[in-house]
Structure 1
Amino acid sequence: MFNKSKLALAVQLGLVLGSLATVTTISAQDTNTAEAAVEKIAVTGSRIKSLDQVANSPMLTVNADELNSRADITIDTYMNTLPQVNPAGTTTSNNPGNGGQSNIDLRGLGANRNLVLVDGRRVMVSSSAMTVDLNTIPAAMIDSIEVITGGAGAAYGADAVAGAVNLRLKSNFEGVDFRATHSNHAQERDAEEYNFSAVVGGNFDDSRGNAIIAFDYSKREGMIKSQRDFSANATSTTSFFPEGRYFSSGNNPSQAAVDAVFASYGSAAGSVPANGSLIGFNTDGSLFSAGVFNSPLDVENWRYPVDLSVNGPLFPDVYSYNFDAVNILVLPLERKTFSSKLNFDVTDKTEVFATASWTNYNSETALAPTPFPTVQVQGPDGTVSTRATSAFVSPGSTIANQLIIPVTNPFIPADLMTLLNSRTGDNAALVGSGATEPFLMRQRSLWGGLRGSQRDNTVVQYMLGIRGEINDAWSYDVYAMEGKTTIKQTQTGNLDTQRVMDLLAAPDGGASICAGGYNPFGRNSVSQECADYMTLDATLSREFNQRIMQGYVSGDLFELPSGMLSVVLGYESRRFDYELDPGSLSGPVSGFNTQSPAAGKNRFDDIFAEAFIPLLDGRDFADSLDLTLGFRSSQSQFTDIAKGISGEKDRNSAYKAELSWVIASDLPRIRASYQRAVRAPNFGELFDGGGSAPQYFDPCSASTEFRAANGQAGADLCSATGVGAPDSYVQTPGTQASINTSGNVKLKPETADTFTLGAVHNFSNGLAMSLDYYNIDIEDAIIAPNVNLIIADCYNYYGNNAALSGDYSSCQYIVRGGGDIFFLADPNTADGNIPGINSGFIKTSGLDFQAGYGFDTDMLGGAYIKLGLYANYLLEYKTQELDFLPAIDYADTVAYFGAGLGQSFPKFKVNLNASVNFGDLEWALKGRYIDGMKNRLAVEMPIETQPSGTSGIMYWDTAFTYRLGEHYSVRLGVNNLLDTEPELYAPNVQSGTDPSLYDVVGRRVTLSASVKF
């Protein structure tokens, strides 16, 4: 068997201070337990096995009991409560979505900038961003989780920019461990979750081998936003009405005609302007006006019920469709996992080990019915067209996100026809002029149902390895892993925009194509035949394949005056294949983003080395001083199979230096590290791209500080960028602008430098403490464009457009319609998509503090009390997207929609743990504090009045555990004991808050039972 006893002396210093998350402080009476736990040490950011190299970077460990304490069915739910983690893809990631997946995001640098490992080895990825879906990890097998947040690129390779999360599986387990949990909301009895898991393990062949199998079944009930008062109404607006919305677009009706029509409804003259886009349609053929926010122009002639489909907080000042009421707040989930683990001592010096796992889970996201159209139509010489309406567009012109309807459509209401007949102008982008020119409108398809996305994820992975001792000083470890992720996605609620426009262009309104045709003017019923004709269900499939081989040798090289110099030398090969089949989701589709077939390969060949060098030992000023050096050289190459493009072979290097200094045994150990990491662009950045529709702030709104400070020059710039009547234009709160990005095969790797400096100490009375400073600097960062920064730059918030010229480069991205910004498009690309680039930087720094204390007391019947605290203080989180934009510090800001998942940055986060053990009964209390923040928009548009932010918030969880003898235990717990509601602010991520950061469910009662033999 392997000789691992030389780690034992380091446990009291390293393992204790790295395990404060569990509040399992090692006091004098726990020494035997600590030495027994040495077998669990594997990941400390180094493969060197030596006395003083335990946790030379900030590290935190969570054991299985702590992980199960809240009865969470997914790992991310607990991990996102840790101060080092910025909640990113979670159970609430419906919109912005994350494909139903759960990710871990260290330091807020992105889930693609940290590694997720199992037993120190990479595992199967589940997205083109090369991120690991925590839903696919066999939770029943987890023994502990180790979080290293000081960077680990040299030790573990690309993506470990922010660090690594290692999930340690049970090892040499004997017996049966059966667990069952159930939870739901204490009052509403909704948000139900339950889980059943079983682990069976045993030794065989005279204990030379050990085999473990585990099964896990979990189910989570979904919630929609109308189930909670705070999320029932959208805090953003939409220009896509279920009733339909008319856009005058330059060829306006006369004011006299508008006044006459609305006078017949009892509205005063001038209450509805003729040069806007306020007019919608009642089902009785009359018209209504949507009004203008915070102005004398209120909603006029509304004839529908004022129910949850209407954004109640805004009505009747202004009408907007309330799309949030039917959106999902918590994603439903059903998961099944099977896993196994085997190790066998072939000889006393050779061990074979293997793992295999299978996970299948189903999740669902849902958005409000489709706003349409979301495609462009160009004239006959254009490259983007739909056959029914391209004939209505002038050559060389483009109509974006609008239905084009000829005046011959038979469903046009008489009152609307009165307005159309009064037109005398000309929209140059449309064929014709005056009363006979086609007109523009948009709608939302209530009759098409929700935009649903059901995902079936299956992940299979298996690994085989061998390790052993070469001699007394040297050992080896070799393994091969293969995995496959298959994701089948079924979408409902999409619209075939071509077919919609075919119906609208038909002289009979489409009645000859499907029963009844299509009447878009109001919330009119649509026959099932027409609904089937226009809607487009789609099935997409993604497949990822991963093959990894790694081998390394480690051992003692030679003796130095202060100890043995130990080294690790190794090689790693990683191969990734990716294929996307979009099925029917291509062409002029409105609803979910259309996608093209994609296929690619990535390959990495790495060589790595580490050396542990004891510099001093037993000196007056250095009880020990040790240095660890690490180096990794990685050669990468990608191939875009779909486009037939292969990139050049790139070679990049990562390296590190770590120092451990023990001045004296009764003084803190000083630890410091420097790490260089290199992250190669992933599949999504190289090939896929993506889209979003974030909220934006419009400087052209009449009441902004920009307009007040710049007078007529500001109004002229607004007019030059598409605002028809800048003096009367008022932005409705929460309007959104679409943006699409495309992959870029010319992207280069990011580089990151990480520096940490800290002190750790284990006091003789059992108190353990650590304090660490960290600084991470990412250069040539690949960052998705921020809509508000481009808008702010156009309107000279950063001093780059002092002349307030509409020809300034950032202004060219802005595309408006009816005053509002519809989308941002790159004028230099054929499709308007903005390609990813290496530009700017991300810098973050802060302090981590951990403390733990455990002691016996004569009070409370001789109870054992454990106390723990771990905190993060964020000094800065600064980014610069493009070299002509300012560097913005987002520390102390809360994210809004479009900023990206995991982009809320409280300055201060604290976790407090306390438990009292009475023998068979244990009581635990956990507190979690999240500091208040200002709104992210306040630092992006600094001259404007600051929008609402958040206040500090505290959550409390408590639980009682009773052990019925040696084999049985039950736990009754309450999460969010005080039923604390989430902090609300605007603009926000979604649901009036950041649902990943704050608890959106409320007080939850949990019941758990376990049986162990």
Structure 2
Amino acid sequence: MKQLFATTLMAGASLFAIQPAQAQGAPASAQAGEASADADAETIVVTGSRVITNGNNSPTPITMVTTEALTQAKPTTVFEALLEQPLIAAARGGKTAGSTGQGGNNNSAAVLNLRGLGATRGLVLLDGHRVPPQNLDGTVDLNQIPQMLLQRVDLQTGGSSAVYGSDAITGVVNFIIDRKFNGLKLNTQVGISQYADEPTVNIGGAWGKELFDGRGHFEASLDYRYDAGLFRTDRDYVQKLGAPGWTLQGNGCPGGTGSANCAPYFITNTAVDSLGTFGGKINQITGQPAASINGVSVYGLDFTQNGAATPFVNGSSVGFGTNQLGGGGGWNNEQVTLATPQKFLQAFGRFDFDVSDNVHFYVMGFYDRIKQYSSFLNLRANGASASSALAQGFRLTPDNAFLPDNIAAAMKGAGVTAFNLGKYFSAAQAPVSSTSYTNQNFYVDAGFEGKLADWNWNVSYVGTRVSQANRSNQTWSTARLFAALDTVKVNGTPTCWVLTQAQYAANFAGCVPLNPFGPTSASQAAIDYVRQPTYYEGITSTYDFSGAITGSPFETWAGPVKMALSGEYRKIGYELRSDAPPANISALDCNALGLLPSRTSCVQQSATNIGTTGTYANGTAARSPVSQNVAEGAIEVDVPLLKDVPLAQDVHINAAARYADYNSKGNVIAGTPYTTAKFHATTWKVGLDWHVNDMITIRATRSKDFRAPNLSELYTPGRSQGLTTGTDFLTNSVVGTGGYTLTQQIGGNPNLKPEVGNTTTAGIVFKPSPRFSLAVDAYFIRIKDAIVFVDGSLVQFQNACYDSGGTSPYCALQVRPGGFSRTPANQASTNAATLFFTNAPINAATLRTSGFDVEMNYKTDIGGHALGLRFLGTYQPTLRTLQPSAVTTDAAGVSVPKVRLQGMINYNVSDEFRIDWTTRWRSKLANVDPLLGLQTAPGSLYVDPVTYSNVNFSYKPKPSLELFFNVQNVFNQKPPPYAPQVTGAPGSLSVGFYPSDDAIGRYFILGARMKL
């Protein structure tokens, strides 16, 4: 009934839309970017152009949303409110935090994603100036944007590289500051969920005043937010939100229905790993003899209690990998982050002054300090695979000091010299892997604006320094872990074996024996010994100088021609300081340390084996400084063609072109000489704005845009790892047989070139009266030379290289001195001693998407009080990735809902009381991309559509004071089970629901706003 009510309300709201957003105090149609006829057009900041000063004349679709409208709907952060906009899809941050990979990226950052095409393909601006990235991967954390003095947010969805430069392929998100705020405003609010968890607190204030008889102005704000966050184990999800542990099992029958080992994909919340448990399961190592106790094999014994083993309880096979349904298996991410714990403090200030009648100076800046925390998964070691040369678990020996005597005796009597313990360290025994982030952002924007005759000019400087100090809390020293696990009894006392060997003892002074046999068997002292928290600080700095001049060089019969010339020079630098060892670059010398491969899981590095890395999880090595210099020049013109003729009240052509030159310097492999990567890009844009009459406007754009490879893609520090499975398809050598191992190097690619986007938009705006407007815009985006990470060891890319005889770009993803052609000599030679594959970004894909956006706005009066309705909708039927020698995939309807809708209603019940209602809806999703042609069990392919609603009640006892009560997820809608193919087995489980769905449940916010 609740769902029906919400859906009905959405349908009603879809007939209209809310009162248009306010642009500098003038009514503006949210998507058309309109300004009222009596507004001062010169004060309107039109995103997407340097020469258009009236939003009515923008050929590019712009969705304008006031901060007031966002906070009325969702008074949390501007980022979280924007996540409900249909234009945003597959954004990162807020609900679900990801892991921190090599390079120290903060995947808990608040990162928007226009149309699901990737966060780095959309540009973030603050008052029209580029906001530099916080992460090495080029993404911008929107939590840094000052909110107390934010006036509105513009979402411009056409390509804009010709106007703003790189990254504006999918559009621009422009945060506009209220530059003329006067007075004092305060905000305070608290929030808590229906289940009395995830508390939040917001306190903020802003002040502004005119100075020097109106020639100057100063404003400042301070904002503090605390969010306790939420983890999966904080609740009984089965009772409150439905079990989130949904995974996709089976193999999809890649050989077709009826093929051998065919197991159609299906979703379940009972799948567990059959090779590892929280207590530890004894698994047999290939080649070791059988052993039993009273006829019961020791292999398969599970330590369900500390020091006490019982036969492992098998579940039912799922026909894929090592997983099973039910039974005694382990689970490896008890405490995944559902809402990121965070605290942030924002301080903002702006001063401007009229130096003369024609010269204006301004300076603004902000400081942010943001603390965030993310937990990921339990440390684990599963059972060794029979085909693996590297043990995927903890190799132990029968003389282990903590192994029960009867099991040890049975093993020794049978001649067992080693076994493997499939083991998960639960949160009750050892904290799950987690990372704490402390980000400090310094931002300064200063410049002059002036008028010279009939021309306007401006020059500006933006300087930033971002420090992202990360602490990988549960990084474990691999060496210490193996040493602590390898124990023997000395005079009846458990002792690390290495301490009994004089030649090794000095390597592990203070070693604390670790007991792995049981759910909570390990002592805290042992856990503390093997933990090796690593600290690393990523520092990003930007220096950006820009200038522009605009004016009208001449007029035509239809009006003045407007022109803008602009130039920009910026430098971005990045470095990563770390106290971690060069993880994944220098392997452990097992034999020299005393971590003998016969007794431990340590694998000695050799010519054919990469060996074991120094840290077990999340260690990030240092990154020496790398940099990118950019010089750009651009021109934009707006030419009126017709005016006040039949069927052409006003017709304009807007055109822009830009040339950019990039120079990047750095290296991928530590210690190697720096190289320079140079490339350039030319972009352009042409737009038509055709006012047929007062009611109808037709608009269209065509643009060529680009995205330059960022410092992460060019220079992510290289690291090497050994692959436990794989085949060399030139020599048909299989990993784990004949001593053959497969080595892989992961890192950046300094030979990348820019991505190129081609965007077409076409739309119509219908406004029969000042109270109603309708805008419909279609879009077509094609991105070629798209940068994607490609694993050169995969069969399709190996064969593409060999079939080409070495000419395929995929050949750059492996090193094989003997060449790549399929000659008998090559195929007979293993080349194992020097062969390795690369997993790196290359310009290999083409992205295509299309669809249309709809926006309707309506305002009226009921009973003498204002009623506003607004509807936003996006239909995106396709989002395809095409890559040579790879299967074409379509994210539309899989990771991006094809239909995303939002309806809003606000009604002033009286002069003091107002109600705001917001409902959003997404269409169904598929767990498996239908284009892959894989088999899915009935009921497991599609994820149900879902509706979420918010309501806000505000009361003004007097004009200067507003009290509000907000309810998020009014109907406490549970997130439908979602287990896309990428999550696969429990070992890579996400959280079992779509990230933009609500996992918090009904949430209450109570607050007050004051403005004096």
- Cα distance in 1 between the residues matched to 2:755 and 2:798: 30
> Which position in structure 2 is the counterpart of 1:590?
616
Residue 201 of structure 2 is aligned to residue 209 of structure 1: no
1:521, distance to aligned residue in structure 2 (A): 3.3
> Which position in structure 2 is the counterpart of 1:887?
888
> Which position in structure 1 is the counterpart of 2:432?
450
Q: Single out whichever of 413-422 and 598-607 deviates more from structure 2.
A: 413-422
> Which position in structure 1 is the counterpart of 2:755?
750
> Which position in structure 1 is the counterpart of 2:928?
936
Work out which of the residue numbers 425, 441, 459 in structure 2 matches 1:459. Answer: 441
Residue 447 of structure 2 is aligned to residue 479 of structure 1: no
CA displacement, residues 703-758 of structure 1 (integer Å, 9 cap, x when unaligned): xxxxxxxxxxxxxxx997889xxxxxxxxxxxxxx998421112111111111011
1:80, distance to aligned residue in structure 2 (A): 0.6
Question: Which SS does the other structure have where 1:617 is aligned?
Answer: strand
1:968, distance to aligned residue in structure 2 (A): 1.1
Work out which of the residue numbers 222, 229, 232 in structure 2 matches 1:225. Answer: 232
- Cα distance in 2 between the residues matched to 1:26 and 1:84: 16
- Cα distance in 2 between the residues matched to 1:338 and 1:634: 34
> Which position in structure 2 is the counterpart of 1:905?
896
- Cα distance in 2 between the residues matched to 1:688 and 1:891: 29
- Cα distance in 2 between the residues matched to 1:740 and 1:520: 32
The amino acid across from 1:913 in the alignment is: M
Residue 869 of structure 2 is aligned to residue 878 of structure 1: no
Residue 483 of structure 2 is aligned to residue 502 of structure 1: yes
Instruction: Report if the CA contact (8 A) 2:74-2:950 is conserved.
Output: no
Alignment TM-score, normalising by the size of structure 1: 0.78
The within-5 A match list for 1:743-782 is 743-764=748-769, 766-782=771-787
Residue 67 of structure 2 is aligned to residue 64 of structure 1: yes
> Which position in structure 2 is the counterpart of 1:430?
none
Summarize the Cα distance change of 1:980–1:583 in structure 2 as closer, same or farther, 3 Å threshold.
same
Structure 1, unmatched stretches of 5+, are 1-14, 264-271, 300-310, 377-392, 424-434, 700-717, 724-737, 802-807, 814-825, 894-903
| Residue correspondences, number | 870
The amino acid across from 1:91 in the alignment is: G
> Which position in structure 2 is the counterpart of 1:389?
none
> Which position in structure 2 is the counterpart of 1:662?
691
CA displacement, residues 798-851 of structure 1 (integer Å, 9 cap, x when unaligned): 9x99xxxxxx999999xxxxxxxxxxxx99997765112111111111100001
Residue 652 of structure 2 is aligned to residue 635 of structure 1: no
> Which position in structure 2 is the counterpart of 1:173?
181
Instruction: Report if the CA contact (8 A) 1:198-1:214 is conserved.
Output: yes
Instruction: Report if the CA contact (8 A) 1:606-1:632 is conserved.
Output: yes
Instruction: Report if the CA contact (8 A) 2:662-2:680 is conserved.
Output: yes
CA displacement, residues 284-318 of structure 1 (integer Å, 9 cap, x when unaligned): 35353252533799x9xxxxxxxxxxx9xx77x33
1:335, distance to aligned residue in structure 2 (A): 0.8
Work out which of the residue numbers 163, 166, 171 in structure 2 matches 1:163. Answer: 171
Residue 371 of structure 2 is aligned to residue 362 of structure 1: yes
1:782, distance to aligned residue in structure 2 (A): 1.2
The within-5 A match list for 1:236-255 is 236=247, 237-238=272-273, 239-254=275-290
> Which position in structure 1 is the counterpart of 2:393?
402
CA displacement, residues 933-962 of structure 1 (integer Å, 9 cap, x when unaligned): 221354435245473431111111112211
Instruction: Report if the CA contact (8 A) 1:253-1:422 is conserved.
Output: no
Question: Which SS does the other structure have where 1:589 is aligned?
Answer: coil
> Which position in structure 2 is the counterpart of 1:733?
none
> Which position in structure 2 is the counterpart of 1:921?
913
Work out which of the residue numbers 303, 307, 330 in structure 2 matches 1:284. Answer: 307
- Cα distance in 2 between the residues matched to 1:827 and 1:977: 61
> Which position in structure 2 is the counterpart of 1:189?
196
Q: Single out whichever of 977-986 and 869-878 deviates more from structure 2.
A: 977-986
- Cα distance in 1 between the residues matched to 2:625 and 2:618: 20
The amino acid across from 1:892 in the alignment is: G
- Cα distance in 2 between the residues matched to 1:95 and 1:507: 39
The within-5 A match list for 1:244-643 is 244-254=280-290, 257=291, 261-262=295-296, 283-289=306-312, 291-294=314-317, 317-372=326-381, 399=390, 401-414=392-405, 416-417=407-408, 420=411, 435=415, 437-446=417-426, 447-471=429-453, 473-505=454-486, 508=489, 509-510=495-496, 512=499, 514=510, 517-523=513-519, 525-584=521-580, 586-587=582-583, 588-640=614-666, 643=672
Summarize the Cα distance change of 1:464–1:849 in structure 2 as closer, same or farther, 3 Å threshold.
same
> Which position in structure 2 is the counterpart of 1:840?
845
Summarize the Cα distance change of 1:68–1:689 in structure 2 as closer, same or farther, 3 Å threshold.
farther
Structure 2, unmatched stretches of 5+, are 1-17, 101-105, 248-271, 490-494, 500-508, 584-613, 727-731, 738-742, 804-809, 816-830, 984-988
> Which position in structure 2 is the counterpart of 1:981?
974
Alignment TM-score, normalising by the size of structure 2: 0.78
Question: Which SS does the other structure have where 2:355 is aligned?
Answer: strand
> Which position in structure 2 is the counterpart of 1:896?
none
Instruction: Report if the CA contact (8 A) 2:636-2:657 is conserved.
Output: yes
The amino acid across from 2:170 in the alignment is: A
- Cα distance in 1 between the residues matched to 2:752 and 2:864: 63
1:415, distance to aligned residue in structure 2 (A): 5.5
> Which position in structure 1 is the counterpart of 2:504?
none
1:148, distance to aligned residue in structure 2 (A): 0.4
Residue 1008 of structure 2 is aligned to residue 1009 of structure 1: yes
Summarize the Cα distance change of 1:349–1:290 in structure 2 as closer, same or farther, 3 Å threshold.
farther
1:991, distance to aligned residue in structure 2 (A): 5.8
Q: Single out whichever of 444-453 and 986-995 deviates more from structure 2.
A: 986-995
CA displacement, residues 450-506 of structure 1 (integer Å, 9 cap, x when unaligned): 2221111100111110011111x2110110010100011112222111122234446
Question: Which SS does the other structure have where 2:473 is aligned?
Answer: strand
- Cα distance in 1 between the residues matched to 2:25 and 2:744: 43
- Cα distance in 2 between the residues matched to 1:928 and 1:20: 24
Summarize the Cα distance change of 1:157–1:351 in structure 2 as closer, same or farther, 3 Å threshold.
same
- Cα distance in 2 between the residues matched to 1:524 and 1:1009: 48
Summarize the Cα distance change of 1:105–1:963 in structure 2 as closer, same or farther, 3 Å threshold.
same
- Cα distance in 2 between the residues matched to 1:80 and 1:646: 40
1:678, distance to aligned residue in structure 2 (A): 1.4
> Which position in structure 1 is the counterpart of 2:81?
78
CA displacement, residues 859-904 of structure 1 (integer Å, 9 cap, x when unaligned): xx32221111110011210012x311132222112xxxxxxxxxx2
Instruction: Report if the CA contact (8 A) 2:246-2:992 is conserved.
Output: no
- Cα distance in 2 between the residues matched to 1:332 and 1:958: 24
Summarize the Cα distance change of 1:144–1:25 in structure 2 as closer, same or farther, 3 Å threshold.
closer
The structure that is strand-richer by fraction is 2
> Which position in structure 1 is the counterpart of 2:251?
none
What is the RMSD computed on CA atoms of the aligned residues? 4.2
Question: Which SS does the other structure have where 2:49 is aligned?
Answer: coil
Work out which of the residue numbers 17, 21, 44 in structure 1 matches 2:47. Answer: 44
Instruction: Report if the CA contact (8 A) 1:679-1:750 is conserved.
Output: yes
Residue 872 of structure 2 is aligned to residue 863 of structure 1: no
- Cα distance in 1 between the residues matched to 2:394 and 2:424: 11
- Cα distance in 1 between the residues matched to 2:354 and 2:997: 48
Question: Which SS does the other structure have where 1:286 is aligned?
Answer: strand
The amino acid across from 1:360 in the alignment is: R
CA displacement, residues 150-192 of structure 1 (integer Å, 9 cap, x when unaligned): 111111111111111000011111101111122211x312211
Instruction: Report if the CA contact (8 A) 2:564-2:636 is conserved.
Output: yes
Instruction: Report if the CA contact (8 A) 2:383-2:421 is conserved.
Output: no
- Cα distance in 2 between the residues matched to 1:150 and 1:357: 29
Instruction: Report if the CA contact (8 A) 1:278-1:291 is conserved.
Output: no
- Cα distance in 2 between the residues matched to 1:458 and 1:1010: 28
Question: Which SS does the other structure have where 2:771 is aligned?
Answer: coil
The amino acid across from 2:245 in the alignment is: A
The amino acid across from 1:873 in the alignment is: Y
The amino acid across from 1:41 in the alignment is: I
- Cα distance in 2 between the residues matched to 1:42 and 1:991: 41
- Cα distance in 1 between the residues matched to 2:98 and 2:383: 17
- Cα distance in 2 between the residues matched to 1:640 and 1:19: 46
